[in-house]
Amino acid sequence: MLPEPIRRTAPPLAGRTIASQRWSDLTFLHWRVAPAVVAPLLPPGVVPDEHDGGTWVGLIPFLLDRATLFGSPPVPYVGSFVEVNVRLYGVDATGRRGVVFRSLEASRLAAVLAARAVFGLPYFWSRTTMDAADGVIRYSSRRRGGGPASTIVARPGAVVQADPLADFLTARWGMFTARGGRTRLLPNEHEPWPIHSAELLELDDELVAAAGLPGVTGRAPDSVLFSPGVTTRFGWEVGRGE
């Protein structure tokens, strides 16, 4: 079955909103790689989603805050942290597109444990920071216990008009998770991304290699984008074909 079309506007959630978050000051770094490199890293029933001659590996730092869970008010402290994630892009047998997270770094241990328990996501407890000055944003992460680290420094640029690659990399309305022997899609929705160009000033990364993709960040990214952010809502998991 052909993949569903890329849509800049999210389909509405079918049921109850189970969580919401504000994502701010995101820098999207992406590398084009051969689909055969990514295929073994995807959950059962999901194959690499392809665009422009390959599939893509993303390294994305940002500020997550105003987090809610099951209708709660925004959670203070625990629900606010800098995240750095490594993600891939997949499509299932019914043509649904989604993100596959290989790792997610966060500085709040309670949030790490909750995300692992509730959503089955590979969060890691890390020291993460973000600083902005003179139009430049610096993100850093180091996994606790001497694990992999990442430093990213970028300068946001002008607004990007309609761009098929930017839409492919950002307009994603679900994430695949594998739990209990089944691959499921956790849907999300938010307003269309405001997308800007960006300049990468510095990159020293070990997270992508630790996620099973050595050598990728040794070359310049094929795409560098920025967004001031969106507020995201998550729905309940849906099984393949349901």
Share above pLDDT 70 across residues of the chain, in percent, rounded to a whole number: 98
Q: How is residue 78 written in tokens?
A: 């625990």
Q: What's the CATH number where 113 sits? A: 2.40.400.10
pLDDT band of 100, cuts 50, 70, 90: very high
Q: What angle do CA 179, 189, 60 make, to 5 degrees?
A: 75
pLDDT exceeds cutoff 80 at 225? yes
- Please indicate, yes or no, if residue 241 is contained in any of the structural domains: no
- If we measure between CA atoms, which residue out of 66, 82, 98, 96 comes closest to residue 230? 66
pLDDT exceeds cutoff 90 at 210? yes
Say how far apart CA 175 and CA 67 lie, in whole Å.
Answer: 18
Helix (H, G, I), strand (E, B) or coil at 191: coil
**Which pLDDT belongs to residue 95?**
96
Helix (H, G, I), strand (E, B) or coil at 20: strand
Share above pLDDT 90 across residues of the chain, in percent, rounded to a whole number: 81
Which amino acid, residue 96?
Answer: R
Q: How is residue 158 written in tokens?
A: 């002008």
Of the CA atoms within 13 Å of residue 99, those in its CB half-sphere come to 23
Say how far apart CA 14 and CA 16 lie, in whole Å.
Answer: 7
Say how far apart CA 214 and CA 148 lie, in whole Å.
Answer: 12
Mean of pLDDT values over 211-225: 98
**Which pLDDT belongs to residue 214?**
98
CA-CA-CA-CA torsion for 176, 149, 169, 23, nearest 10 degrees?
80
Say how far apart CA 106 and CA 160 lie, in whole Å.
Answer: 29
pLDDT exceeds cutoff 90 at 1? no
The answer to whether the CB of 37 falls within 8 A of the CB of 200 is no
The separation between CA 114 and the C-alpha centre of its own chain, rounded to angstroms, equals: 18
**Which pLDDT belongs to residue 239?**
55
Mean of pLDDT values over 80-101: 97
The string of pLDDT tens digits covering residues 113-171 is 988 988 889 999 999 999 999 999 999 999 999 999 999 999 999 999 889 999 999 99
The DSSP-derived string for 196-215 is EEEEEEEEEE-HHHHTT-TT
Q: Among 75-79, 110-114, 168-172, 173-177, whose mean pLDDT is lowest?
A: 75-79
* Alpha helices (H) along 39-138: 109-119
The answer to whether the CB of 30 falls within 8 A of the CB of 123 is no
- Please indicate, yes or no, if residue 31 is contained in any of the structural domains: yes
- Please indicate, yes or no, if residue 148 is contained in any of the structural domains: yes
What total number of domains does the chain contain? 1
- Please indicate, yes or no, if residue 66 is contained in any of the structural domains: yes
19 against 211, higher pLDDT? 211
pLDDT winner (highest mean) among 164-168, 180-184, 234-238:
164-168
- Please indicate, yes or no, if residue 98 is contained in any of the structural domains: yes
4 against 67, higher pLDDT? 4
**Which pLDDT belongs to residue 92?**
96
pLDDT band of 238, cuts 50, 70, 90: low
Taking the CA atoms of 56, 58, 64 and 69 in sequence, report the sign of the dihedral they define: positive
- Please indicate, yes or no, if residue 168 is contained in any of the structural domains: yes
- The per-residue pLDDT of the chain, averaged, comes to 93
pLDDT winner (highest mean) among 1-15, 180-194, 215-229:
215-229
Q: How is residue 154 written in tokens?
A: 């970028």
- Please indicate, yes or no, if residue 149 is contained in any of the structural domains: yes
pLDDT band of 242, cuts 50, 70, 90: very low
- Please indicate, yes or no, if residue 35 is contained in any of the structural domains: yes
pLDDT exceeds cutoff 60 at 240? no
**Which pLDDT belongs to residue 67?**
87
Q: Which domain holds residue 95?
A: 19-230
